[in-house]
Chain A
């Protein structure tokens, strides 16, 4: 058994930023990061971006910390090991190789994993997912020989993958269950706007379609749809969603919903156990609700906050996060909590006959989230509006009026 002061499970952005922050506050306390991936901290975001995928920049650009950074900061990094159980009384985490660690303080920063495609034949070669560096290596290999590709599901991964596969010269079919892209997160008009850039790039979209079976020998040859149609493809990238794998924590007494439940200090219900990043389902004091978000900046900032709090500070995590991306000449950003829950309403702001669309998600008398298509320059202004808790109940017309400058909402708040 190894004793360590700070034990961090997960070496992604949340775990690494926590270690970095702890070291700045506590120069001596021992820190160990356990990761089940064989790699040190790298840029997940880059995996699905053209510069990296198409090899326009050196492969090494993917690393976000040098190998020496770990020993230089006295952070020990254990790769290729999975945490398999937690005993919160003895304060012990056991690994899959039989080793165990006794911690003083523990951070769970295990992110999320892809949902596997529950279709007959989905185990054939050529079916892939996109979450890790190993995943993208496999996709890059398949791209070398495949002529036709399919992407499954409507979301960021499909959008970005369809772009990359077109740029790689493949015929691309995008298969979605919904009536339009990104339903119900986006309204139909915003969804169609995203679809238009995909179609202009030559992507074929099949709506209301579900796979019944994957056909072929060892390798995929085609996808048989429920309505009998067949889509031929030598590779399929499946982006039907992510989930956090918390099964290993069952029996530990840790409170878990979709994510690991935490308060605004990122503390879980167990003593000296924190959660941060995609895995955390935490109380957001700005939104006034418990949320589980999945984006880079959010995980990074939560990792930092958890690190500070583990090293002895105690401050709430207060940050309006966002997921922004671009591809095929379109840019998309989701800010705050955009879940279309019952009781929420949407205020739409349309520019240039709908070439750019902002949708504000209203809950009670304030804005809790927004979706931006081709208008990401307003990202920070809108994040500030959410953070400032602006009462918009009698100002809905201003929100939808493009002649009203949105920054007006924030400057009034500062003057107030």
Chain B
């Protein structure tokens, strides 16, 4: 669990409560940035990180961004803490 960034989402209409980026899996292909540039950016180590505007992104776009990751480094959790992707 060490090398993960967690982001708690606070958007009432959202079924996605938590977003996690596994930094060991991330290979900076940056497809998440292509799909949801409001939610993700690359940091100085070239790993995907969550932006503070991530709440403005709707669930469908977030799911597409997670699904687009070619190394499945983006994990999504619902309000009950259940992993919904991958």
Residues of A within 8 A of B (CB): 43-46, 49, 51-52, 57, 61, 64, 296-297, 300-301, 319, 321-322, 324-326, 331, 333, 376-377, 379-380
Within 8 A of A (CB), among B23-76: 24-25, 27-31, 33-35, 37, 41-46, 67-68, 70-72
How far, in angstroms, from A377 to B68 measured CA to CA in the complex?
19
- Contact A45 B29, beta carbon cutoff 8 Å: yes
Given A51-B25, A377-B46 in contact, is the A297-B71 Cβ separation under 8 Å?
no
With A321-B34, A324-B46, A380-B33 already in contact, the answer to whether A49 and B27 are too (CB < 8 A) is: yes
A–B Cβ pairs within 8 angstroms, 9 of them? A45-B27, A45-B29, A297-B30, A297-B31, A319-B34, A331-B46, A376-B30, A376-B46, A380-B33
CA distance A43 to B27 in the complex (A): 13
B71 touches A324 (CB 8 A): no
In the assembly, what is the distance between CA of A300 and CA of B68, in Å?
A: 8
Besides A45-B70, A319-B34, 7 other CB < 8 A contacts? A43-B70, A61-B71, A325-B27, A331-B28, A376-B28, A376-B46, A379-B42
A46 to B31, CA, bound (A): 13
A163 to chain B, nearest CB (A): 11
- Looking at chain B, what size class is its interface with the partner chain? 20 to 34
With the chains together, A300 CA to B36 CA distance in Å? 13
Asked if A379 and B30 make an inter-chain contact with CB atoms under 8 angstroms apart, the answer reads yes
Q: How far is the CB of A277 from chain B (nearest CB, A)?
A: 14
Once the chains are docked, how many angstroms separate the CA of A33 from the CA of B71? 23
Q: Which residues of A contact B71 (CB under 8 A)?
A: 43, 45-46, 49, 51-52, 61
Contacts of A44 in B (CB 8 A): 70
A379 touches B33 (CB 8 A): yes
Least Cβ distance of A58 to chain B in Å? 11
Cβ–Cβ contact B41 & A377, under 8 A: yes
A296 to B68, CA, bound (A): 9
Please measure, in the bound complex, the distance between the C-alpha atom of A319 and the C-alpha atom of B31, giving whole angstroms.
12
Residue with the greatest number of chain A CB neighbours at <10 A, chosen from B27, B28, B67:
B27
Given the known A-B contacts A380-B33, A380-B37, are A64 and B28 also in contact in the complex, defined by CB atoms under 8 Å? Answer: no
Q: How far is B33's CA from A296's CA once the two chains are assembled, in angstroms?
A: 12
Please judge, given known A-B contacts A57-B25, A376-B42, A377-B43, whether A46 and B70 are in contact too, CB under 8 Å.
yes
A263 to chain B, nearest CB (A): 22
Taking CB atoms, residues of chain A closer than 8 Å to B27 are 45, 49, 51, 325-326
A321 vs B31: C-alpha distance in the bound complex, in angstroms?
9
Query: Shortest Cβ distance from A318 into chain B, in angstroms?
Result: 12
Report A59 CB to chain B, min CB distance, Å.
Answer: 13
Q: How far is the CA of A379 from the CA of B29 in the complex (A)?
A: 11
For B43, give the chain A residue with the smallest CB separation.
A377
> In the assembled complex, which residues on chain B have CB atoms less than 8 Å from the CB atom of A326?
27-28, 46
Chain B residues with CB below 8 A from A51, complex form: 24-25, 27, 71
The residues of B that contact A376 with a CB separation of less than 8 Å are 28, 30, 42, 46
With a CB–CB cut-off of 8 A, which chain A residues contact B41? 377, 380
The smallest C-beta distance from B66 to any residue of chain A, in angstroms, reads 11
The answer on a CB contact under 8 Å between A301 and B44 is no
Expressed in whole angstroms, the minimum distance between the Cβ of A322 and any Cβ of chain B is 6
Are B29 and A325 interface neighbours, CB within 8 A?
A: yes
B45 surroundings in chain A (CB, below 8 A): 331
Shortest Cβ distance from residue A290 to the other chain B in the assembled complex, whole angstroms: 21
Q: Is B31 in contact with A300, judged by CB distance below 8 angstroms?
A: yes
